[in-house]
Structure 1
């Protein structure tokens, strides 16, 4: 009789353990919450990729801004992240 109870208890504990390990641990998100999270991630990625602009104003002062200079002003676009590796430019 004890062996039957031990087997039954083992099956219950084993079944509970199998359920616990096999369940999906990630929480379910509503479609609205998922969309908001995707929009926030896209905005953050866009902000990280925005270039900087280097230009000189009418007084000759060097300006580095995240907004483009006024029209007709010569400028150089700068990446926020440097290019990987070493670049050699003899013209500089």
Structure 2
């Protein structure tokens, strides 16, 4: 009977040790939560400012639309330029 308790105690201690080594530390949990929050903020920002699409039509004219063209290559653009980029509307 003593051997049975030793086996049960070993299993319980092993399970506790496995849980302890596999758990997230507070710093890892905070990093994961911050990454999740940033991903949510990025998704909300993209939904608030949908992208534009730049592509060329059959005649070769440059088109910029809010929906991507079907069956044509296109480039996805952000509505707001990155910091440090100058935007001039008089250039092609």
TM-score by length of 1: 0.39
The structure with the largest helix share of the pair is 2
Greater gyration radius: 1
